[in-house]
Structures are given as C-alpha cells and as structure tokens.
C-alpha cells in the first residue's frame, strides 16, 4: 500500500512512544506492590494487636471466674440461654481470628520477595486490603525489591502490549496488505 509509506516513520515513532510509556507505567505500577504489602502488613499487625487485646480480656474474665478460656466457651455454649451461647461463639471466633491473623502476618513477614504476592493472595483479608487501599500512599521505591518489581512490571506491560496488541494488529495489517497486493 503505497499511500501508507509516508506515514510509516510517524507510525513507527508513535509505536516507540507507546512502547516506552507502557514501560514506565508498568514500572511505576509494579514498583508500588512492595509498598502496598508493607502498608497492608502494618494494618494487619494493628488488627492482630487489637484481636489479641480482646482475647486477653476474655481470658482475664475467664480467670476471674476460675476457668480457662476453653472452659468458658464450652460452658457458655452448654447453657440454655441463647445470649450466653452467642457469647461463647463470640469468644471462640475471637480466638480463631487471632490464630488466622497471626498466621497471615507471620507468612507475609517471612515470605521472600518473589513469593510475597502469592502469600498475600493466599492469606488475603479483603476487609483489611480494602482499608489499606483506601488510605494507600504511593512511595518511591528505593529498595532492590522495589526495583525488581519495577523491572517485572516493565516486562509484563511490554509482553502484554506486544502479545495482545502489536502482534495481532501487525498480522492483520500484513494479511490486508497481501490481499490488496494480490488483487
């Protein structure tokens, strides 16, 4: 197609610009993941501290009654009073919450840079993630981990662009040119 020849340098320059813009966008977006994980971990730790404080209050109340926490839960559940049964379930749920939050915090703290996203997804608490996102503040990555995530972001964005946009468009353009030249 001869009429497109004068446009080729302009299209090539536009493609290079898009390519570089996607590299920057990928680097900026992915480099924020370590910061989000760090802010999520802080919030998770706050939830864990509060859950532990609440559970300790239940333990103290049980101890003042001459019982263990497990005994308090069992006795409250065995009562015919629905309010006491609900209290027993609340205490049991608080203990389970402490265990779940502690396991999530430990797993995320001990995860390596490359396993952290998968550990995060596996142990995700949606409410804590939403609250973290609501107050998330981006930061300039100055760690090796932040730079590594930026490089991965660049690669992901370029692969997506070349595999999902540029490649299919180029193939369609070549087929169209071949059909028009064959006519």
In this prediction, residue 182 carries a pLDDT of: 66
In this prediction, residue 60 carries a pLDDT of: 94
Model-wide pTM > 0.85: no
In this prediction, residue 3 carries a pLDDT of: 59
Per-residue pLDDT, averaged over 86-100, amounts to 93
Annotated domain spans of the chain? 1-32+142-183, 37-137
Tokens 């802010």 belong to residue: 39
Q: How far is CA 146 from CA 6, 31, 115, 119, 158, in A?
A: 42, 5, 14, 17, 18
In this prediction, residue 2 carries a pLDDT of: 64
The per-residue pLDDT of the chain, averaged, comes to 88
In this prediction, residue 16 carries a pLDDT of: 84
- With beta carbons less than 8 A apart as the criterion, state whether 160 and 18 touch: no
């Amino acid at each position: 197609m001869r009429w497109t020849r004068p446009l080729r340098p302009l299209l090539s320059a536009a493609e290079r610009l898009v390519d570089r813009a996607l590299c920057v966008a990928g680097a900026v977006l992915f480099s924020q993941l370590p910061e989000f994980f760090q802010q999520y971990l802080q919030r998770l730790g706050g939830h864990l501290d509060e859950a532990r404080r609440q559970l300790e209050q239940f333990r103290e109340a049980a101890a003042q009654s001459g019982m263990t926490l497990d005994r308090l839960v069992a006795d409250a559940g065995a009562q015919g009073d629905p309010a006491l049964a609900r209290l027993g379930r609340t205490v049991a749920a608080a203990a389970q919450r402490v265990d779940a939050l502690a396991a999530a915090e430990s797993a995320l703290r001990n995860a390596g840079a490359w396993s952290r996203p998968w550990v995060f997804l596996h142990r995700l608490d949606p409410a804590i993630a939403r609250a973290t996102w609501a107050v998330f503040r981006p930061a300039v990555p100055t760690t090796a981990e932040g730079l590594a995530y930026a490089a991965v972001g660049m690669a992901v964005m370029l692969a997506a662009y070349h595999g999902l946009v540029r490649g299919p468009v180029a193939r369609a353009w070549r087929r169209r040119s071949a059909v028009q030249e064959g006519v």
